[in-house]
Structure formats: C-alpha cells, structure tokens
Amino acid sequence: MELERTDDGIYVTVHNGFSAILSPRPTCPPVVQFVDPPTAQTDGTLEVGLAAFAPWRKNWKPVRVQVDVVGLADQPAEVTLPGRAVVPMRADAAPGWYKLLVTGGCLRGKRWIKQDLSSDPQGSIRYSIPDP
C-alpha cells in the first residue's frame, strides 16, 4: 500500500482489492447499509431496507436519499434513513443484472441486483443482492 499526499488531497494506492473507510471526519456523511435483500411486491414495486452507519458523527440527523435501479425502475424512490424504499419497476424489464444506486445525504451506495423470472414455477419475480 502506498500513501501519497498532494495539494488536492491524500491518496492511497493498493495492489490487492479491499474495501475500507479510512478515518472519516466528523462532517463525513453516513455510509448506507443494505439491511436485507430486496423484496418484489405484488404491485410491481421493489422494496429495499436501508440504514445509515455513521458512528463518527456526534450530532446525528436523519438523511434523505434517492434509490434508483438503473434500467429497471420507472423512477427513483426517496426515503429517510433508516427506512424502506419502495421503487416502482418497469413491467417490460428483462431478467438480468441491474445496478441499484443510493445517492443523496450519504456516501454513494451501489449494489448489483438480479431480476430472475424463471426461479419460481408460478412466474413471480425474485430479486437478490449477491454478497459483496
């Protein structure tokens, strides 16, 4: 791991993949946490449980975020963390992998979700988020 300080900031170069939060400042926004797997609802929506993680913040205020599933959602949903986002889905979306983005008053969150029409004999839609 290499550490470089410049006028623009501090940069860390890694040679193996890893994920970390390095010494956040008190003003750093919270990290979004995906509480449970997304759930397909019978009304054609996707429900996603989200929470905010920010133990470095002394004055905690709820944050408002937008949840979008690029290529699958009709429109982004808004929710205050912690909470459950209900995202309306396109009826004509094909099965496959879609990017779920959480933006707004948090550090940007991204997960890939899989829409699978063939996993249930009754043809219901299932969504899953693979383990990171």
Q: What residue spans define the domains of the chain? A: 26-128
State the CATH architecture for 26-128: Sandwich (2.60)
Quote helix, strand, coil % in the chain, to nearest 5. Answer: 0, 50, 50
Q: What is the pLDDT of residues 58-84, one digit of tens each?
A: 877 889 999 998 888 878 889 999 999
Q: What is the mean pLDDT of the chain?
A: 78
Q: What is the pLDDT of residues 7-34, one digit of tens each?
A: 877 787 877 766 665 667 888 899 899 8
CB 100 within 8 A of CB 68: yes
Q: Which residue has the higher pLDDT, 40 or 130?
A: 40
26, 79, 122, 130 from 21: Cα distances, Å: 13, 24, 43, 21
